[in-house]
Chains A and B, each alone.
Chain A
Amino acid sequence: MRRATREYLVFLWRCGRIAFVGDWRYYAWMGVLTVICLLGLNAYAKQLVHGLIATGMSDEVSWGVYIANFTFLVGVAAAAVMMVIPVYIYDNEELHDLVIFGELLAVAAILMCLAFVTVDLGRPDRFWHLIPGLGQLNFPASMLSWDVIVLNGYLLLNVHICGYLLYCRYRNVKPSKWFYIPFVFVAIVWAVSIHTVTAFLYVGLGGRPFWNSSIVGPRFLASAFTAGPAIIILALQVIRRLTNYRITDKALLTLRSIVQVSMLINVFLLVNEVFKEFYSGNLHVASSKYLYLGLHGYHALVPWIWTAIVFNLVAMFLLVLPLSRSLKWLNLTCVLCIVGIWIEKGMGLVIPGFIPTPLGQMVEYRPSLNETLVCLGIWAFGLLCYTVFLRMSVPILQGRLSKANEGPGRPA
């Protein structure tokens, strides 16, 4: 037992150490991310002192870019399942050795999600009120309590799966199926649940007609399965460029088909939503009017949403054309998908729900500089985490960081 603990601690220690080792590009990249993180931390410290008045939010628009980014990133986290399903259910060979990079991305995304909700709290010092047993978690009535449970559960599942598989690889032993396969299948269902629950957070509000629509859940999933794999396509190419890890073009093209189908469904659902809102012409269309056309002379979101729609449509056409089988075009398509969906699932979903207010007042929202810095800090933090995860896992998977080469001479 003590030996096993010691062995595990050595493993952790070596993983931790290697995160601080790399060539100049690695140091430069990590340095830049650290600086942005600290800028964000500084902005958050200011927000803690002065309150959420440091943001652009108000009683009229009481959620802003924090919750918008949170919503987008839950989707990114959920999208890991789009690699897990081909590998574990359809035995896809090409993606087999890559699925862990998707799961690690999910871990990083969830960490960012947790950071985004924390910075949105008015009283972060009272977070313990959410802990079951210690506080008063309002489960199952509050959708937010569901979100607390599913997000943390998903984090634990993925940390366990990745951690276990990497540790086995490190020791060069075959992983025991019972120790991870059941968790993988639970994680598949769980991934769908995190984004569904996040959608229900909005859908359940009867007083907000823009969100109180059953299409929000399906659209969340479709857009998540577009943007998430698109991010993974880009990330895999970065890994391939910077390491000699084997990543085939075929694997990337498999992911392309997933993005392709998801984007088609996403655009189809968008058409459904827009038709229902505008054709029936009842008074509940106000928020959609504000979003797409502007209302009573207010139109801050109009350029954003049309950018998103154009990006999504162009991406959709590129995806169905054989053109996007070339990596150059595929990368452009992925960027369009990611940006388009980030706008539409973030700002385009959260903000118009508040405009006009339930009492019909028009008040717009614009994120403050401080708020933007906090967001950038969290994104940098997420990238930092993901980079560190990759820095640890790639050498382990390649067998260059293993128990066999432990010893005083070579700590990493």
Chain B
Amino acid sequence: MSHSDFPPLQGEPAPAAGMNRRSFLRTSAVLTTGLAALASSLRPLLELEDYTSVEQFMQKYYKELTPAEMAKVLKRIENEVEKQYGIRPQVRDLRPMDGVEFVYALNLTRCIGCRKCVHACVQENNQSRNPEIQYIRVLRMPHGSFDLDQSEHNYAPATVPEKGYFYMPVQCQQCRNPPCVKVCPVHATWQETDGITVIDYNWCIGCRYCEAACPYWARHFNFTKPSIPKERLNPEMSYLGNQPRHQGVMEKCHFCIQRTRAGRYPACLEVCPAGARKFGNILDPNSEVSYILRTKRVFIQLKEELGTSPRFFYYFDV
């Protein structure tokens, strides 16, 4: 049997002309069963509500949108948000300002590890609350070590700061040489002239290569449909900034583009009770960040040896 001539052409269906009643019935039975099985296996797709619309599917790449098309897209997003949250937002497309390159400086001597920045950021940037996405991760580091593997992420003492530790908030470092931009297969993330690396959420295909490439664990993925309570929605939105994201795309800190490109400070800076956070234009010699980088004896770029050249500097009061 095992060495029989396979295929033994027995059971071969006769050609259509000579198709008899029995083989016709059998073929249709097999076909019907097959189609029914296929249909039932695809049944979950019935729950696919507002996954994508024709306009969303056809939307062009950010850099290829004409001003008129952009206006239409912004209007559409406003409508979508209003439909979903019952609040009419203002979605703007803020462009970088000339002669501006943003830089962040964080004083490790001052940070007390209270995580107020983490929560202000979530509130400002319309991150999903369930599952929770946060752009800032505060590390509790043992006194005297800069080895990140020794950091504690889930520290929860009654009061901070604790003796024997220092705290280091890490967020997108807005690298001059960003690995995430290099690896993106569809140009969905890029560096703007003011130094902010942005994501076109409506172009990202969700391959998560940038997440693997980022040495700072700054990029986060929407593993499911983001959920934000209506009353928590921040209606001041920008396209490359805090517009609500969709399921299956990346997001990350963008230096609060909707604020900083309109002349305001990032939310994490404003909320910091210790004054540990400084932000400004490095091209302006009179800015606070220029002063800090000029006068502080020591400042650090995280993982400097990787050559990413962050625009985020850690410094100390010395």
Contacts and interface: CB of A to CB of B under 8 A. Distances in A.
Interface of A: 17-18, 20-23, 25-26, 34-35, 38-39, 41-42, 45-46, 48-53, 57-60, 62-63, 117, 120-127, 129-130, 135-138, 141-145, 148, 201, 204-208, 241-244, 283, 286, 353-354, 356-361, 391, 395, 408-409, 411-412
Given A26-B6, A59-B220, A122-B248, A45 B185 contact: no
A57 B131 CA distance: 13
Interface of B: 2-13, 15, 17, 34, 37-38, 40-45, 47-48, 51-52, 57, 61, 131, 133, 137, 139, 147-151, 153, 170, 179, 182-188, 203-209, 211-217, 220-225, 246-250, 303, 306-308
A23 B6 contact: yes
A356 B147 CA distance: 12
28 contacts: A18-B7, A25-B6, A34-B34, A39-B41, A41-B41, A45-B41, A48-B44, A48-B48, A52-B206, A53-B224, A58-B223, A59-B133, A59-B211, A62-B211, A123-B206, A129-B61, A135-B186, A138-B186, A141-B182, A143-B183, A144-B183, A205-B183, A206-B215, A207-B214, A243-B7, A359-B151, A391-B7, A411-B15
A244 B5 contact: yes
A205 B223 contact: no
Given A122-B208, A137-B185, A129 B303 contact: no
B6 to A, nearest CB: 4
Given A125-B51, A391-B7, A359 B153 contact: yes
B185 A122 contact: no
A55 B2 CA distance: 41
A22 B43 CA distance: 31
B293 to A, nearest CB: 24
Contacts of A21: 7, 9, 11-13
A48 B45 contact: yes
A205 B12 CA distance: 54
B182 A358 contact: no
Contacts of B247: 51, 122
A50 B224 contact: yes
Given A129-B203, A242-B6, A286 B149 contact: yes
Contacts of B4: 23
A153 to B, nearest CB: 16
Contacts, number: 219
A201 B182 CA distance: 12
Contacts of A148: 185
Contacts of A57: 223
Given A283-B149, A356-B149, A62 B221 contact: yes
B61 A136 contact: yes
A144 B207 contact: yes
A252 B269 CA distance: 68
Q: 6 tightest A-B contacts by CB?
A: A122-B206, A207-B215, A122-B248, A51-B224, A360-B148, A144-B185
Contact of A206 (B5, B139, B150, B179): B179
A50 B40 CA distance: 18
Contacts of B133: 59
A395 to B, nearest CB: 7
Contacts of A60: 217
B9 A51 contact: no
B38 A38 contact: yes
B184 to A, nearest CB: 6
Contact of B131 (A46, A53, A143, A409): A53
A140 to B, nearest CB: 11
Contact of B209 (A18, A125, A144, A409): A144
B205 A243 contact: no
A53 B221 CA distance: 10
A206 B307 contact: yes
A62 B212 contact: yes
B207 A120 contact: yes
A207 B187 contact: no
